[in-house]
Structure 1
């Protein structure tokens, strides 16, 4: 496959970009840095306050452009607390009151979200406690049950042991603000100075001491380097494994790997160097998980490296595969990725693994049609993944999903659960094109409209997309979204012999 000159340049630009340029900032993480003070009590980074205020939504909230209540409520609450401490102008207070009004009006809508954001039941009670101390008018009674949930969750990881060893709970360290064993937590900082690769957790850790610059210079440098690269802070950093694995995944399906072999080689070498017998996480020094491990195995296997996927078997449970140890809810997309990577497992395990995952996936489908996922706010993310993979296993079970995808396309050619977005359009188009090429021909007209929508919105160096990925709040990994867009456009052009640029 040979793509257009524009697509070749755009993919090359994506592959050569610095990691820090490819993850959008979040209000939530930036607020934790904005809370840091100098020894005299002033804001250490006062320039962050205007950046945060400029991003208030019309309804008084802060957060993603997608109306996901867990994201909006938590993002708004952390800004409201920040303004109660540092927003001294009349306009600041008016914005704070509008944010509080949003929280009151939307508390009862939390149950409408299928999945909570990460650590929500841990972080929210701590912020509410702080709001109460500041005398803020907030729905404490209505949200009081999260305190009970918090205690139940903490019973699985006793607080007295939290700072003895490195666990995934450290990624949400801000949930323990005011109760942190600073000495113990300091010993768990990563080499780059971060707390579990989380800018918000790192900023919270620093906030526990007045002389944080002198006591923790590496953590200070970690935050300030990130702030120097763009307006606010990203939700995770580093994310070198996550970035590379997802880019390589999409470029593979877009048929873009062969003509970019030279630019891809350093990424494969980076993944190979970071590989550990137990697998990998979203960063080279991160906690391993099945999702990033499966995606990395796929990238290396497809590039011709010898890899052993037996490490994925450590995530196997009775009915599915977990993402992490002690996981409450399984992830559809992670199970799909493990299924796809099962070809790298020992041959004797493959049939059992595939049968188990397929059973879980078919039980998890809603109305026999679509899927939902704990890592993504859109049903199109797991459903498009399923559409790409499952026809080769259960061909007779996917017709309803195919009809649903074609039927839910917007008039302008896009797809989107909460409104048209580049990402949902790209991943759906990519799945339908793959189906068209490998299973049966589909009508060109809806695919053409989708490609036209993407082409009209595409521009060089684009890194501003709707926040749909579920972390502590919603976020947008621009690298994965851009890779999906470029791959979908490339595959469309190759499928129908049309250049879209």
Structure 2
């Protein structure tokens, strides 16, 4: 099969997939569903215990395959608390002890991760307090500083009405056990039965009611359907149909395969985004809190496809020196600002120059590694924000990017891949895509590193895989499989279009 036919086949598979739900369960979120009990005190989902105990890593931890300290520690602590509540079965005791030793060893490594997982500073102190009450052997003193981080986060939230309106705190509702009126919180459940699309927050809330199945039947269905879609446990977020569709269409915009076939298969996804678009913006699903990142991505893909869109709502996220993703956020996002920059043409004419200059100043000032790379709070890899910056800044500041392109080439691995922790298809495809854009729009790059990267992606049919490592950041690490596939397809397609060979 020639490469264009091969890529068209893979693209058809992506566009025909379920673009409303993640396909992989999270240890962290699953542990909260595993806690749920029926009115007769039996476990509601006993199979989840078996699944989780099979997933312990050799070092005693739980969490994603990438050894990201925040993800591993929080996931491990959540499962340890679950096992601690199941009594003193010898097998659970041994696994719990191994996990406690892991937490003690790794507690000091949290600073190695530049970005914490979402809600970490709220959730960790709450789980440690619960662990202390259970008498678990953990390094409480070493982690005591996160109480201050929790206080800092709470100081920027509207504490007087924190659980009376829909704020980002609802996504981490499990962090507030014992300090909220659960009846009031339950009144904020979304129409789909979830707590702002967070499976773990939803499961925690249900666990506060002995008759949760009868009281919240839609929420019980939500958990059951979320588990059935992964075939195991709960994902980090569900659903996320706006997020997945927007990102897949964003990357496939540059795909150079059969345009008529792509347009026909893409149309239902554009229709979905149009149907759920609101003048004030959107979130990751029709039930989620709205945010600037999903809003700008939807605006961008619809604008590229020829739809008339008005991006004025993005201006509500404007701050003194950057654009926020949510109200009351503690950490800013490079990638979200870059996406607003890419969606600049959807803004009113009078605002474009100001927005452009503000974002350029913010992004260029945020460079790391002697001005060559960027990091972002939504992704564990330095190559994510750096590749996005290289592509988004090209039309505006091409003279500022030669060092970034050189740094990316210099950090390529011997097998042609890129990867901050281990070689991954996602990081390789993102970096290749960015370098190809730079090569085509700014300055010619040596072909050999690009060819080796493309060859790496074709090995073992990487565009068709579904077991990519988790690199995206929510309360735990996760992977949006179809988005990763679309990145791989876009990079290989543009490589083929640029060099015209079959990467033999």
TM (norm. structure 1) is 0.96
Whole-angstrom distance in 2 between the partners of 1:100 and 1:287? 35
Determine which of 453, 463, 466 is the counterpart of 1:463: 466
Determine which of 427, 431, 438 is the counterpart of 1:428: 431
Structure-2 residue corresponding to 1:153 = 153
Q: Per the alignment, do residues 320 and 396 of structure 1 end up closer, same or farther by CA in structure 2, a change over 3 Å counting?
A: same
Q: CA deviation at 1:341?
A: 0.5
Secondary structure, aligned partner of 1:131: helix
Whole-angstrom distance in 1 between the partners of 2:353 and 2:344? 9
Determine which of 476, 492, 500 is the counterpart of 1:489: 492
User: Map of 1:13-412 to 2, 5 A cutoff?
Assistant: 13-19=13-19, 22-86=22-86, 88-157=88-157, 159=159, 161-229=161-229, 230-256=231-257, 258-259=259-260, 260-366=262-368, 367-412=370-415
Q: CA deviation at 1:192?
A: 0.7
Misfit runs of 4+, over 4 Å:
none
Secondary structure, aligned partner of 2:163: coil
Q: CA deviation at 1:270?
A: 0.8
Q: Per the alignment, do residues 149 and 389 of structure 1 end up closer, same or farther by CA in structure 2, a change over 3 Å counting?
A: closer
Q: CA deviation at 1:305?
A: 0.2
Q: Per the alignment, do residues 19 and 383 of structure 1 end up closer, same or farther by CA in structure 2, a change over 3 Å counting?
A: same
Alpha-carbon displacement from aligned partner over 1:460-499 (angstroms, at most 9, x marks no partner): 7532211111111111111211110111122212222223
Give yes or no for contact 2:20–2:244 (8 Å, CA) kept in 1: no
Q: How many residues align?
A: 500
Q: Per the alignment, do residues 152 and 372 of structure 1 end up closer, same or farther by CA in structure 2, a change over 3 Å counting?
A: closer
**Structure 2 unaligned runs (5+)?**
none
Determine which of 438, 442, 451 is the counterpart of 1:439: 442
Secondary structure, aligned partner of 2:136: coil
Give yes or no for contact 1:257–1:264 (8 Å, CA) kept in 2: no
Whole-angstrom distance in 1 between the partners of 2:258 and 2:103? 47
Whole-angstrom distance in 2 between the partners of 1:257 and 1:331? 35
Whole-angstrom distance in 2 between the partners of 1:39 and 1:238? 28
Give yes or no for contact 2:463–2:489 (8 Å, CA) kept in 1: no
Give yes or no for contact 1:380–1:424 (8 Å, CA) kept in 2: yes
Q: CA deviation at 1:158?
A: 5.4
Structure-2 residue corresponding to 1:11 = 11
Whole-angstrom distance in 2 between the partners of 1:172 and 1:212? 19
Whole-angstrom distance in 2 between the partners of 1:314 and 1:175? 28
Q: CA deviation at 1:104?
A: 0.4
Whole-angstrom distance in 2 between the partners of 1:146 and 1:57? 25
Give yes or no for contact 1:61–1:99 (8 Å, CA) kept in 2: yes
